[in-house]
Amino acid sequence: MKTCYELTNPIRQVLQWTCCLATVLILTPFSYGATVLQDLVGNLRTGEWAELQTIGFNGGAVLLSDSAVTDYITQYTDKAVWNPVTKELFVIGQAHGYDHTGAFVKYGEACNCWTILPLTGIGPPNHAYDHLSINPSAGKIYYRQYGVQTIWQYDLGANRWSVLTTTPISYANSVGALEYFPEVNGIVYLDGDWGLFLYDLNTGQWQRLALTNVGSGHKMGSYDNVMRYNPITHQVVFGGGISYGDPNDGKRLYALSSNLQITALPLAPYTIALSGPTISAIFVPDPVTGHFLLYATADSGVTGAAYELDTTARTWAQLPSSVYPPFFHNSVGGAIFGTVATAIPDYGVVAFIDYEYPPNGKVLLYKHAAGLGDVPPPVPPPTGIIPPPPAGPPATAADFQSRCAAAGVILCNGFDSASDIAGIYGDNKG
């Protein structure tokens, strides 16, 4: 026994050399990052959920629509947005009923805190549905209010709302979906009945990309549709919704490519809509694999089901119950309703803002797949017989002394003499 093995703890980075003649312990402090968010992400492993403790969330109280203690802005939406430039997350919405004022809030990574933002100009935002999107490079948030034609923009630098444009059809359904598509620098707008449109931010002009239900185009639900941009596949996936006819229409999805071509995707296992506790879904891309994660209500909202969509292979796969989210059980609005999500590509996780009666609301992070820079799992301690390492030169006092002199050494046990290691197994020398 002349050489050494090493054990590495990924949290504290403890390196221990153990030899028959000496032991050298080197302790090097390790930090995953400068923020609470980075540290939590650094400890997450594939398939794990963790709560992000933040300032000002107050167990979900920041999501209350106003003074009403039971009504919250994450009703009738599944969507938050993340700004990778400023490292901020945004949520907007309003509780059910026109007597509420709604709220617009953000989480900032730098302060690990929540801030209430102004609604001056736009007024009560109404339910958000999938009418929220962000253009990080321009520093703009885009939003359409329920039941109106106006599409607003919020300037993140000036903290000011202004009118960007109006929907391209005057007879638009109250609830559709919109998403910023960076590859074409435009806003994709969906009306489940009246078509798919693109607003070109360079020219300020609309163009129709496709027919939907009316005109025998791409079939889907008429309203409560979903739409999400995928930065890995460079697609906008859209569809779902509530249907007046064929129940499969609410399971139909389509992918819009950067060259504005549309591909039909396989039927979803559940209706993907934002229509209350019994029919709700969260549809969000995983920022590592580019697959879409679907969390849908099952059994009329009593339980939840989770699936993964690979738009390249055009396949759905059910996720194991071991990675199901905490909010599937004992939540205020059923398994899904009241929770919004957004991918955080910077860190390879998805953030979920889960409203529960304060103080039980939570900000959750989920790591679906391993990405670059992931911390490896802890190395288990050796068990049984350790195979002998490759032969090398005998350890000497000089080897020991050089290791003791290395930076970071905090303890050196004495170099054993020949008499120290003499004896038989089991005595005070063996």
The predicted-structure confidence for 312-353, as pLDDT tens digits, reads as follows 999 999 999 999 999 998 898 889 999 999 999 999 999 999
Contact 221, 268 (CB under 8 A): no
Contact 5, 389 (CB under 8 A): yes
Inform me whether the pLDDT recorded for 200 exceeds 90.
yes
Question: What's the whole-model pTM score?
Answer: 0.80
Mean pLDDT (the chain, rounded): 84
C-alpha 167, offset from chain centre? 29
Helix (H, G, I), strand (E, B) or coil at 250: helix
**Which of 248-252, 258-262, 333-337 is the least confident region?**
333-337
Inform me whether the pLDDT recorded for 416 exceeds 60.
no
Inform me whether the pLDDT recorded for 86 exceeds 50.
yes
State pLDDT tens for residues 35-80. 999 999 999 999 999 999 999 999 999 999 776 556 899 999 999 9
Q: What is the mean pLDDT of residues 381-410?
A: 54
**Residue 172's closest CA among 120, 131, 229?**
131
Any idea of the CA torsion for 318, 290, 374, 88, to the nearest 10 degrees?
Answer: -110
Q: Give CA–CA dist 166/24, Å, rounded.
A: 70
Cis before 359 (ω within 30): yes
Residue 416 burial (CB < 10 Å; 0-12/13-18/19+)?
middle
Q: Sorting pLDDT into bands at 50, 70 and 90, what band is 208?
A: very high
